[in-house]
Amino acid sequence: MKESMNFSRRWIVVTGASSGLGKAIATLLASEHQANLILVARRLEKLEELKHTLEKKHSIQCKTIAADLSDISNIERMFRESIQNEEVYGVVLNAGITYFGEHQQLPWDQFEQLLATNVSGIVKAVELYLPYLTEKSQGGGIMLVSSVAGLLPVPYQAAYSGSKAFITHYGLALNEELKGDNVSLTVFSPGGIATEMTHSSGLAAQFEGSAVLQSPEQCAAEAINAMESRRALYVPGWLNRLQVFGARLLPRSLLIFSAGKIYRKALAAKRNSQ
């Protein structure tokens, strides 16, 4: 059995660190684990703000990389810059986007952006970091942030759900291939989280204030535990775990029908609020 990860004073890359879950993961890695961080996203000013706060509060070191991770050349640059002067021990591939609405209304260029960010960018980053971590022999690890939507099909988030199903299957298959190696790969699959994504997509209109949405901090704590203990797959929150477990016992058509009903209502609420 592989030893648990130990993040203390190690360098961890966190993508999508400018908001939501990524920001919460970075903050907890600094405050609870004294990890040094390489923060990645497009909005540099948000990353710089976080860097200054974390360095000042927790006496750790942070670097920032502004990169559009839907662009493969930016992923190659992130990899080069992150390993240039530091030894990277862990990589949290968290950056992701959604589209909430009728799939037929999703413009093609937005679909391609979703696919590039949620799928191709992740595969490219794994292709670069995995051999690096293996060669370093420090027992490092990668965590892919997927979603419950990658385990259960979600109507009105069809493309997102499909992209996360890819990440879940890809990650679990790869985890098995890595069994004998000194690195680990964890698939982390949250349900709803109260973040910019839920707000800007309009999903919050229906779910805000309900137990369905986890706070980014709660979710981040479970994410870090899952990565630290090298779990293959982890679903945070008892309600989400109950949902995933219950889904195994029920016919798939019933699950998709029920999800369709809930999200149709959420879409109507979004339209009414516009």
Ligand X SMILES: NC(=O)c1ccc[n+]([C@@H]2O[C@H](COP(=O)([O-])OP(=O)(O)OC[C@H]3O[C@@H](n4cnc5c(N)ncnc54)[C@H](OP(=O)(O)O)[C@@H]3O)[C@@H](O)[C@H]2O)c1
Site of interaction with ligand X (CB under 6 A): 16, 18-22, 41-43, 46, 67-70, 94-97, 117, 145, 147, 190, 192-193, 195-198
Nearest-approach distance from CB 182 to ligand X, in angstroms: 26
Q: What angle do CA 39, 44, 49 make, to 5 degrees?
A: 75
| Nearest residue to 154 via CA among 247, 223, 15 | 247
Nearest-approach distance from CB 229 to ligand X, in angstroms: 20
Spatial contact of 8 and 31, defined as CB atoms under 8 Å apart: no
Task: Give me the torsion for CA of 67, 28, 49, 70, rounded to 10°.
Answer: 10
Nearest-approach distance from CB 117 to ligand X, in angstroms: 5
Closer to ligand X at the Cβ: 163 or 184?
163
Q: What is the largest CA-CA distance in the chain?
A: 54
Nearest-approach distance from CB 203 to ligand X, in angstroms: 7
Order of all β-strands in the sheet with 233-234: 62-66, 36-41, 11-15, 88-93, 141-145, 184-188, 233-234
Closer to ligand X at the Cβ: 9 or 211?
211
Closer to ligand X at the Cβ: 5 or 213?
213
Spatial contact of 13 and 30, defined as CB atoms under 8 Å apart: no
Nearest-approach distance from CB 20 to ligand X, in angstroms: 2
Closer to ligand X at the Cβ: 21 or 259?
21
Nearest-approach distance from CB 1 to ligand X, in angstroms: 28
Residues recorded for the chain = 274
Closer to ligand X at the Cβ: 16 or 171?
16
- 88: three-class secondary structure by DSSP: strand
Closer to ligand X at the Cβ: 119 or 182?
119
